Structure 1
Amino acid sequence: MALTWNESYLGRVRTSIGDADTLLFVGARGVILDDQNRLLLIQRSDNHRWAIPAGAMELDESMEECAIREVWEETGLRATALTPFAFYSSYTYTNDWGHTYQQILMSFRIHTWEGELQRQTEESVDAGFFPLDALPGPKSPIIGETLADLAEFERTGRMVLK
């Protein structure tokens, strides 16, 4: 069962220190492209933007485990083979609720998975595979950068570090 925001590590920390301070956000995202090179996106339940499945790490969890859990919670698919391709540590952003975070995040390419896609979960109101030239909107601003970083990794074989 997925944790609620208030039960999550990051939710508990945010509640304890309030809204004013910048927090470190440690997490992972999982990029799934199907055999037709369509990208899996979820429509988030909180802001209704289309996004790559992602989220914050919990205590005692690795970044890889975080990517697997977040993809499962948001799509019903369980990643069975994945490769890290990008590591981000210098981005600071403020979300729709005025909370500021510095991201420490790893992106994973998920090669294989099992299960059936759930279009609605506690964290998403829709999900699907979309052609790269026809992604739905409104969409998360990081999708383009993440796909460019994946292409760079596939071209060079070197992890992208930002």
Structure 2
Amino acid sequence: MATPDFVRELRTQVGSQLLFLPGVTALVFDDRGRLLLNRRSDTGNWAVLGGIVEPGEQPADAAAREVLEETGVRVAVERLVAVLTSEEVNYPNGDLAQFLSVVFRCRAVSGEARVADDESLEVGWFALDALPKLSERSLAVIACAAGDGPAWFRAPLS
């Protein structure tokens, strides 16, 4: 996975200790109501799209950038879906991180879904009733995005 330069720079100062980082998740729907997912190259698992917000970047812009970089699809960010923290992540090199993720519902506006960088093994559109195996957290935010309720920001998703 591509580690942003600012995180690499921080790691030279703090080593492997826990970093709390800003992240985004983009739940991208097409005009048929299908969801765009990627199969991650680091885990081999299907996942929702997302990444780290760069310094000075607005979260909605980061979500659109991440989708384009990972899949070649341009999106319109439609609304805030959730704000939540991740579990602590322990990377194979010993680095620790936790992410504050701002989750957006997005609409695909152009581009053909394809593997566009080294972060994905596959990308694909899935009907909500035919999703591949996903984490409980991913399923919970997808459910939030599929509805029209207010943004979720309370107790942990279960």
Q: TM-score, normalising length from structure 1?
A: 0.81
Q: After superposition, what is the alpha-carbon deviation per residue over 1:101-159, rounded to whole angstroms, capped at 9, x for unaligned? A: 2321111111242212113522111100012232224x34432121122245x1x3x22
1:9 aligned residue (6, 20, 29): 6
2:18 aligned residue (15, 19, 22): 22
Aligned alpha-carbon RMSD (Å): 2.2
Structure 2: any 5+ residue segments left out of the alignment?
none
Equivalence for 2:100: 104
Instruction: Determine what percentage of the aligned residue pairs are the same residue.
Output: 31
Equivalence for 1:37: 33
- After superposition, the Cα gap between the structure-2 partners of 1:149 and 1:95, relative to the gap in structure 1 and judged at 3 Å, is farther
Deviation at 1:92, TM superposition (A): 3.3
How many residues of Structure 1 are paired with residues of Structure 2 in the alignment?
153
Deviation at 1:71, TM superposition (A): 0.6
Deviation at 1:94, TM superposition (A): 1.8
Answer yes or no: is the 8 Å Cα contact 1:24–1:104 preserved in 2: yes
Equivalence for 1:159: 151
Distance 2:65 2:21 in 1: 16
Answer yes or no: is the 8 Å Cα contact 1:78–1:114 preserved in 2: yes
Equivalence for 1:149: 144
Letter in 2 for 1:16: Q
Q: After superposition, what is the alpha-carbon deviation per residue over 1:71-107, rounded to whole angstroms, capped at 9, x for unaligned? A: 1111011113432121114x43224424332321111
* Structure 2 SS opposite 1:161: coil
Answer yes or no: is the 8 Å Cα contact 1:39–1:130 preserved in 2: yes
Runs of 4+ in 1 over 3 A off after TM superposition: none
1:7-86 equivalences in 2 (<5 Å) = 7-19=4-16, 21-86=17-82
Letter in 2 for 1:130: F
Distance 1:39 1:112 in 2: 10
* Structure 2 SS opposite 1:66: helix
Q: TM-score, normalising length from structure 2?
A: 0.83
Structure 1: any 5+ residue segments left out of the alignment?
none
Q: After superposition, what is the alpha-carbon deviation per residue over 1:12-48, rounded to whole angstroms, capped at 9, x for unaligned? A: 32343222x2111201111112233221100111221
